[in-house]
Amino acid sequence: MHRPILPFESLWAFRVIAETGSLTAAAAVLGITQPAVSKRLRNLEVVLGCPLVRRGVNAIALTEAGQHFADELRSGFTQIQAAVDHLRAERSPLRIRAYTTWALRWLIPRLPRFHADHPGIDVEVSTSTAVVDLAREGVDAAVRTVAKGTPPPPGGRRLQSVDISPFAAPAMVAGMSGHWPASARLLGSRIRPGDWELWQREAGFAATQPPLLFESTTLAIQAAMEGLGIVICSPSFVREEVETGRLVRLSETSIPTGDLYWLFLPTGRLGDAIGTFADWLVREARS
């Protein structure tokens, strides 16, 4: 049996009529004239073979059939919108928020491997030290540190511990005396101002002058490569510089700070793309 095709424009117009309770208000929402709204409603009633509204002098009211139909339409349009949102999310780049140094020196150098294995998923990286609201800011996931003793984020994934060690340019190392912490400028970042004090205490060195703090560890690392001083940072951030001889590791001891990098994820069911990225990131962090 042939079934007539229900006109989508008329279905949408009726949904708006049911929610606004007025042809005039529905016309304003839809951006068309009131007669055009009335025509769409009549066309829908003809196709369905029953009245959906009772028309009065200055108002309309839904019939019993119209009310049931409006309730089902509301549920159907909600499902359609969810499907559209899901499809857009899967086709859009993943939006990842992270700290500048971690993004530049840890994540981005590894992204080519992710893209090689998952060519259909693009990753868009932004940086900030501020607390992120994933839903409000349109961010799919964020990487942040969680201090020792702080509850981890609900549904988050643990990545790696924050360990620190000192590094300096070869020329500076050659000119330093045996008591190097006291003979050179110490460099760090304002994001982690206590790392030098922690490392000196744990490594058994006497405290020296306060470190020169930069806005980010990336800037402090660059300053160390230029010979300005000794930088304290995660060994994973300067692996390439050490391998190519641009920096020298001054101690084989890496001190765990007690902080951990965590991947913050949305609550609820994860989409396929962000789930794939999260699984990959955890494997990379633990390899």
pLDDT at 208: 75
- In order of their start, the domains of the chain are 8-91 (1.10.10.10), 95-287 (3.40.190.290)
pLDDT at 98: 95
DSSP state of 271: P
Q: Lowest-confidence range among 20-24, 75-79, 100-104, 208-212?
A: 75-79
Q: How far apart are CA 252 and CA 239, in angstroms?
A: 13
Average pLDDT over residues 74-86: 73
pLDDT at 85: 59
10 Å CB burial of residue 84 (0-12, 13-18, 19+) is: exposed
Average pLDDT over residues 141-162: 90
pLDDT at 219: 97
Q: How far apart are CA 59 and CA 43, in angstroms?
A: 19
pLDDT at 1: 47
10 Å CB burial of residue 144 (0-12, 13-18, 19+) is: buried
pLDDT at 180: 64
Q: Is the dihedral of CA 242, 245, 247, 251 positive or negative?
A: positive
Q: Does the model's pTM come out above 0.85?
A: no
pLDDT bin (cut points 50, 70, 90) of residue 222 is very high
| Helices 8-20 and 23-30, axial angle in degrees (round to 10) | 120
Pick the closest to residue 72 from 4, 18, 29 (CA basis). Answer: 18
pLDDT bin (cut points 50, 70, 90) of residue 214 is very high
